[in-house]
Structure 1
Amino acid sequence: MTADVLPALTARARGAAHPADTTCAHSDAVLADRQDGTVVRHGDTVAKAHAPGTAPGELAARVAVAGNPALAGVLLPPLRPAPADLHGRLVTFWPYGSPVDPEVPEAAPWEAAATLLARLHRAPAPDGLPPMRGPAKAARAIARLRAAGPHPAADPVLRAWAGLPPWARAEAPMPPEPGTLCHGDLHLGQLVRRPATTGPWLLIDVDDLGLGVPAWDLARPAAWYACGLLPPDEWTRFLTAYQRAGGPAVPADGDPWPALDVPARALTVQTAALAIAKSVAAGRPLDEVQQAVVDACDRMAAVPPELARGFAK
Structure 2
Amino acid sequence: MTTAVVRALGALAHAAAHALPGPRCGCPAPAVLADRADGTVVRCGPVVAKAHAAGTDTAALAVRLGLTAGPGPAGILLAPLPARTAAVPAGDGAASPYLTELHGRPVSLWPYGEPVDPGDPDAAPWEEAAVLLARLHRVRPAPGGPEALPAMRGPAKAALAVSRMRAARPGDPATAPVLAAWRGLPPWARDEAPAPADRANALCHGDLHLGQLVRSPAPGGPWLLIDVDDAGWGDPSWDLARPAAWYAAGLLPPEVWLRFLAAYRTAGGPAVRADGDPWPELDLAARALTVQTAALALAKSATEHRAPDEVEQVMLDACARIAALPPELTAEHSS
What TM-score range do you get, normalising by the shorter chain? over 0.9
1:17 is aligned to: 17
CA shift at 1:88, angstroms? 1.0
RMSD of aligned Cα (Å): 1.9
2:88 is aligned to: none
Q: Secondary structure of the residue that 1:189 maps to in structure 2?
A: helix
1:131 is aligned to: 151
Q: How does 1:106-121 map to 2 (within 5 A)?
A: 106-121=122-137
2:107 is aligned to: 91
The answer on 1:273 being equivalent to 2:295 is yes
When structure 1 is superposed on structure 2, of 214-223 and 50-59 the one drifting more is 50-59
Q: Secondary structure of the residue that 2:72 maps to in structure 1?
A: helix
Q: How does 1:1-313 map to 2 (within 5 A)?
A: 3-21=3-21, 26-80=28-82, 81-126=97-142, 127=144, 128-149=148-169, 150-176=171-197, 179-304=201-326, 307=329
The Cα offsets for residues 269-298 of structure 1, whole Å up to 9 and x where unpaired, read as: 000000001101111111111111000000
Q: Secondary structure of the residue that 2:75 maps to in structure 1?
A: coil
Q: Secondary structure of the residue that 1:91 maps to in structure 2?
A: strand
**How high is the TM-score relative to the length of structure 2?**
0.89
Q: Secondary structure of the residue that 1:145 maps to in structure 2?
A: helix
When structure 1 is superposed on structure 2, of 103-112 and 150-159 the one drifting more is 150-159
Conserved? CA contact 1:145–1:277, under 8 Å: yes
CA shift at 1:6, angstroms? 1.3
Structure 2: distance between partners of 1:225 and 1:211: 26
Conserved? CA contact 2:215–2:221, under 8 Å: yes
Conserved? CA contact 2:195–2:234, under 8 Å: yes
The Cα offsets for residues 145-173 of structure 1, whole Å up to 9 and x where unpaired, read as: 00002434211001000110001000010
CA shift at 1:71, angstroms? 1.6
Q: Secondary structure of the residue that 1:69 maps to in structure 2?
A: coil
In structure 2, the gaps of 5 or more residues are 83-96
CA shift at 1:26, angstroms? 1.9
Distance 1:68-1:144 versus aligned 2 partners, 3 A rule: same
Conserved? CA contact 1:99–1:193, under 8 Å: yes
Identical aligned residues as a percent: 64
Conserved? CA contact 1:11–1:22, under 8 Å: no
Conserved? CA contact 2:182–2:288, under 8 Å: yes
**How high is the TM-score relative to the length of structure 1?**
0.95
Conserved? CA contact 2:81–2:98, under 8 Å: no
Structure 2: distance between partners of 1:43 and 1:304: 54
Conserved? CA contact 2:39–2:50, under 8 Å: yes
CA shift at 1:87, angstroms? 1.6
Distance 1:20-1:266 versus aligned 2 partners, 3 A rule: same
Code of the residue aligned with 2:109 in structure 1: it is F
When structure 1 is superposed on structure 2, of 180-189 and 73-82 the one drifting more is 73-82
Conserved? CA contact 1:261–1:305, under 8 Å: no
Structure 1: distance between partners of 2:132 and 2:204: 11
Structure 1: distance between partners of 2:22 and 2:296: 38
CA shift at 1:22, angstroms? 7.8
CA shift at 1:179, angstroms? 2.7
CA shift at 1:27, angstroms? 4.4
CA shift at 1:246, angstroms? 0.3
Conserved? CA contact 1:175–1:212, under 8 Å: no
Structure 2: distance between partners of 1:214 and 1:2: 39
Conserved? CA contact 2:40–2:51, under 8 Å: yes
Code of the residue aligned with 1:39 in structure 2: it is V
Structure 1: distance between partners of 2:192 and 2:35: 29
Conserved? CA contact 1:37–1:49, under 8 Å: yes
When structure 1 is superposed on structure 2, of 14-23 and 220-229 the one drifting more is 14-23
